[in-house]
């Protein structure tokens, strides 16, 4: 099939590349010329494992092309997938301005036979609203399918190639059937729904997962005061198949481009309809509190952070991504520096993006060893695998004080015992002082 994808961000690019991998002819379109120029040279604008090699092989096979021209990209397109950003607006609602612009842009080139798919995360009613914009501009009826995306950053290719489910929402059976055909090579479960239910499935999923994280984090805080260990608790709780083991990792809270904004957008939708979804307010409040925990623990330990050198390991909101959107590291870095601490941070891939957000309020190290040298404390903010595999016994010897604050509970007792002399504070687990 001939497919056009609007937006070459985390979702649009992963979608475009994977659809070409399963044999479709894909044109990826973006308004950002630099991104498109890089992509034409086989350079991915984002760090996403496995993406660049699929990009290269599908470009070579001439199934994947990039352009900034809608005329070129939409020419003959049977399916137009919109994957532009829907960031958080000032009032918590999803900002639909990119989507509205994209709708107006494509109206000039859309054919009566093409199917328009909204993959961006959008509040209930948005597909119908966008349809009215397009139809008003192009002057004929168009077919819409809501197809929310569930990929996770850091495993976008794997999640796109092997999704748990594909949701297709449409009031037009023929259009939904065509999109089902597009996805058939993935051999994934496909759920057909009406267009509003499909939109709601996305928010209900993200809000549930965010709430599961806040729930285990609140349990972790209780574990700390009653002397239990949240890792053992989560393990025991998660073995119940009705609950499940995933998303019970306690820590310094959720970040990223999705959970924070999507929980707020769902809350905003509820308030528009006078529904008091108070549980989501707690999900947010617990998460805000969780992001402050490492700094609170450091203040409790040191009393005063003025002049303390803190080595920060990890800047991105989660491992295997360079994305800094709503990363807990941002609030932590601001709090520490406002209290007079010197922060030296290391991240395997997110330093360039972090510089755009944090500027020179912190220093960026080129290795873990540079960051940790002469540090008064170490804070683990993102659980990159390479951090968990470090030789902590020799690392702590380079520090002024062998004190570790682990915001992701990623170190094991055995690793700490090997250090000989260490103080270890984590989330919802007993303090270890050796
Ligand atoms: N990031 C994720 O993991 C993820 C997962 C599932 C769903 N989503 C949702 O998917 C959507 C996209 O998210 P993202 O993280 O990929 O965004 P992003 O910010 O990484 O990328 C958006 C891209 O759209 C481009 N764009 C903006 N207006 C355009 C236009 N008129 N025409 C063509 N291109 C245009 C931008 O230049 C940018 O490259 C959002 O609604 C998001 O909530 C994101
Ligand atoms: O047990 C857990 C799991 C995750 N997190 C944190 O939660 C955030 C989000 O993690 P994750 O869900 O793995 O990454 P995202 O790429 O943000 O993916 C989420 O958001 C996407 C955008 O909507 C959805 O498509 C995905 O299904 C959904 O998992 C990160 O800060 C994680 O550190 C925890 O604290 N504990």
Q: What is the pLDDT at residue 43?
A: 95
The pLDDT-based confidence of 250 (bands split at 50, 70, 90) is very high
pLDDT tens figures, 29-42: 999 999 999 999 99
Answer whether residue 134 shows pLDDT above 90. yes
User: Ligand 1 center to residue 17 CA distance, Å?
Assistant: 15
Domain boundary residue, one of 171, 193, 215: 193
Copy the structure tokens of residue 296: 């609170």
Could you give the CA distance from residue 79 to residue 29 in angstroms, rounded to a whole number? 13
ipTM of the complex: 0.98
Mean pLDDT (whole number) for 249-253? 98
Binding site annotation covers 294? no
**Which residue puts its alpha carbon closest to atom 1 of ligand 2?**
247
Active-site position among 18, 28, 223, 258: 258
Domain boundary residue, one of 274, 289, 304: 289
Query: Tokens 């352009």 correspond to what residue?
Result: 67
Answer whether residue 419 shows pLDDT above 90. no
Mean pLDDT (whole number) for 395-401? 93
pLDDT tens figures, 264-302: 999 999 999 999 999 999 999 999 999 999 999 999 999
Shared-domain flag, residues 94 and 181: yes
Shared-domain flag, residues 220 and 259: yes
Share of the chain above pLDDT 70, in %: 100
Shared-domain flag, residues 296 and 265: no
Q: What is the pLDDT at residue 326?
A: 97
Three-point CA angle 90, 92, 94, nearest 5°: 95
Q: What is the pLDDT at residue 297?
A: 98
Answer whether residue 222 shows pLDDT above 90. yes
Could you say which ligand is closest to the alpha carbon of residue 261?
A: 1
Domain boundary residue, one of 236, 258, 289: 289
Residues 6 or more apart from 126 whose CB is under 8 A from it? 94, 96, 99, 118, 199
**Which residue puts its alpha carbon closest to atom 43 of ligand 1?**
121
Q: What is the pLDDT at residue 201?
A: 98
255 within 8 A of 153, measured Cβ to Cβ: no
Active site annotation includes 138: no
251 CB within 6 A, ligand 2? yes
Task: Residue 224: give the domain boundaries.
Answer: 202-289
CATH code for the domain of 180: 3.40.50.720
Shared-domain flag, residues 63 and 182: yes
Residue 379 pairs in a beta bridge with 312, 405
Choice among 17-26, 328-337, 342-351, 414-423 with the minimum mean pLDDT: 414-423
The pLDDT-based confidence of 88 (bands split at 50, 70, 90) is very high
Q: What is the pLDDT at residue 145?
A: 98
213 CB within 6 A, ligand 2? yes
User: Ligand 2 center to residue 254 CA distance, Å?
Assistant: 7
What atom in ligand 2 is closest to the CA of residue 323?
A: 16
User: Ligand 1 center to residue 113 CA distance, Å?
Assistant: 25
User: Ligand 2 center to residue 209 CA distance, Å?
Assistant: 8
Shared-domain flag, residues 118 and 224: no
Mean pLDDT (whole number) for 177-185? 98
96 CB within 6 A, ligand 1? no
384 CB within 6 A, ligand 2? no
pLDDT tens figures, 299-313: 999 999 999 999 999
375 CB within 6 A, ligand 1? no
6 within 8 A of 29, measured Cβ to Cβ: yes
Q: What is the pLDDT at residue 356?
A: 98
Shared-domain flag, residues 104 and 69: yes
Answer whether residue 420 shows pLDDT above 90. no
* Structural domain count, the chain: 3
Shared-domain flag, residues 180 and 222: no
């Amino acid at each position: 099939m001939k497919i056009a994808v609007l937006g070459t961000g985390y979702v649009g690019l992963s979608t475009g590349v994977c659809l070409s991998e399963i044999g479709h002819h894909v044109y990826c379109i973006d308004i950002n010329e630099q991104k498109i120029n890089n992509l034409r040279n086989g350079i991915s604008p984002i760090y996403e494992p496995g993406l660049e090699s699929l990009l290269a092989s599908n470009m070579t096979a001439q199934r994947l092309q990039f352009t900034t021209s809608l005329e070129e990209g939409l020419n003959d397109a049977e399916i137009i997938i919109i994957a532009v950003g829907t960031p958080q607006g000032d009032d918590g609602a999803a900002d639909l301005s990119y989507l509205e612009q994209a709708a107006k842009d494509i109206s000039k080139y859309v054919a009566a036979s093409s199917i328009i798919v909204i993959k961006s995360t959008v509040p209930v009613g948005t597909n119908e609203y966008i349809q009215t914009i397009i139809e008003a501009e192009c002057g004929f009826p168009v077919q819409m399918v809501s197809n929310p995306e569930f990929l996770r950053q850091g495993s976008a290719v794997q999640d796109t190639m092997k999704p748990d489910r594909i949701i297709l929402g449409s009031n037009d059976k023929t259009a939904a059937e065509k999109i089902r055909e597009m996805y058939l090579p993935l051999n994934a479960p496909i759920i057909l729904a009406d267009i509003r239910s499909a939109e709601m499935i996305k928010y209900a999923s993200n809000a549930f997962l965010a709430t599961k994280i806040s729930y285990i984090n609140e349990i972790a805080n209780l574990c700390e005061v009653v002397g239990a260990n949240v890792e053992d608790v989560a393990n025991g709780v998660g073995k119940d198949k009705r609950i499940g083991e995933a998303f019970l990792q306690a820590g310094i809270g959720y970040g990223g481009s999705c959970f924070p904004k999507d929980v707020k957008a769902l809350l905003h939708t509820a308030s528009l309809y006078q529904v008091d979804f108070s549980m989501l307010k707690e999900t947010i409040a617990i998460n805000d509190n969780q992001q402050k925990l490492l700094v609170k623990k450091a203040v409790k330990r040191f009393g005063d952070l003025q002049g303390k050198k803190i080595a920060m390991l990890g800047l991105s909101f989660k491992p295997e991504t360079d994305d800094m959107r709503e990363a807990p590291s941002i609030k932590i870095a601001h709090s520490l520096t406002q209290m007079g601490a010197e922060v030296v941070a290391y991240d395997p891939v997110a330093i360039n993006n972090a510089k755009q957000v944090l500027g020179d309020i912190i220093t960026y190290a080129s290795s873990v060893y540079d960051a940790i040298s002469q540090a008064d404390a170490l804070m683990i903010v993102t659980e990159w695998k390479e951090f968990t595999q470090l030789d902590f016994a020799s690392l702590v010897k380079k520090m002024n004080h062998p004190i570790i604050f682990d915001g992701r509970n990623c170190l094991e007792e055995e690793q700490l015992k090997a250090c000989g002399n260490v103080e270890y504070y984590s989330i919802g687990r007993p303090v270890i002082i050796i």
